[in-house]
Structure formats: C-alpha cells, structure tokens
Amino acid sequence: MNDTVITVVGNVVDSPRRVRFDRGAVTNFRMASTARRYDAGSEQFIDSGTFWIDVECWNRLGGHVSASLSKGDPVIVHGTITTHSWETDSGRRNTPRIRAIAVGPDLSRSTAEVQRVRPARPAGASTEEVADAVRAVEDHPPADAPEGAGLPDDVAELVRGRDYETDPGTLQSVETDDLPAQPAYA
C-alpha cells in the first residue's frame, strides 16, 4: 500500500459538517496551518505561508469530531492525504484532502476534557460473554448486512486483534466501582 500518511497541526477554520449516508456518515471541516519563524532582526515571530486543507472523518471518528470541535479550535490531524479533483465551468479544480485516522485538540494551545467512549456492558455480563457476542455476530453476519450490523454502534467498529483480544487468558473482569477517584499528576 502506498498511502501517504501526514500529520498537520493547525486550526479548524469552519464548523464541522456531518452528513449521513446509507452505509455510514462523514464529518468534513477545513483547517489551516500557518508556519511561524523567528525573525532575529525584529526579535519576534512572524507568520510565513498558510497551508489550507480539507479533512474528512468517517463513522465514529466523525461523530466525535462533530460533537467536540468548532471553528477556531487548535487541532492535530493524522491521516492519509490525497488530492480531490472535480470539474467546474472554468476547468478542472484540485484540493488536498486528509482522510483522518485520528483528530485531537492541540494541547500546547488549549485544554481538553477527555470522555472515553466504551461499549456498554449488559448488567451481569462478563468480559468473556461480551467478546463471545461480538465474535458471534462477526463470524456469522446476515448475508446482505453491512459490516458491524447487529452490534451496538459503539461496538460495531471494533476489530478483533486490534481493538480487543478474545483469548480467555487476556481477558480479566475488573470492577471499577470499588476504585477511588484519583487526580492526574503531571
């Protein structure tokens, strides 16, 4: 595979737009990354050129982006870059586009409150029972069902071996109700 992977640090320049399709949803936004350099003569930082790029975020990532980001937010986007082309009355147009793998706030210029999204576990179900249910749907999906059909939205995009392990030796039941809340230290 010859994908070109890129990480861009910049600012969201328009509000993220979410569009739903039959087989998924996408959130799009535009970002700008302006290079800065130190000018020894004036003893200050000055702006150089600005790189403008469109970003597309699919499915769950897109939902999180549309719920979390807004115009002006400092972000870091990591993904594969391509050139999007189309025809207009004045000729062929092109623009760079990132298909995002990960999007996050730039914590060197902002703060964030992280809320982890985890699959809900039915009351009384063990980790192994949840893994068995996911495995059963993955192994025997209906013939015309899209990938992940039959699973809750927050579990549908999980991939065995990448997002969870099914070996009983690696699964441990953990009850967090007993754990005291502790602050994070830097």
pLDDT of res. 115: 81
Spans of the chain, pLDDT less than 70: 1, 118-127, 129-186
pLDDT of res. 130: 63
pLDDT of res. 78: 97
Q: For residue 147, give the 3-state DSSP assignment.
A: coil
pLDDT of res. 117: 73
Buried b (16+ CB within 10 A) or exposed e, 131-144: bebbeebbeeeeee
pLDDT of res. 32: 96
Q: For strand 91-105 and strand 44-58, is the pairing parallel, antiparallel, or unpaired?
A: parallel
Domains of the chain: 5-105 (2.40.50.140), 122-169 (no CATH)
pLDDT of res. 144: 47
CA distance 149 to 147: 6
Please choose, from the candidates 68, 63, 70, 74, the residue with its C-alpha nearest in 3D space to the C-alpha of residue 32.
74
Q: What are the residues whose beta carbons fall under 8 Å from the beta carbon of 137, sequence distance 6 or more? A: 149, 150, 151
- In this structure, are residues 98 and 28 in contact, taking their beta carbons and an 8 Å threshold? no
pLDDT of res. 2: 82
Q: What are the residues whose beta carbons fall under 8 Å from the beta carbon of 126, sequence distance 6 or more? A: 173
pLDDT of res. 65: 94
For the question of whether the overall pTM of this predicted structure is more than 0.85, the answer is no
pLDDT of res. 139: 53
CA distance 47 to 80: 26
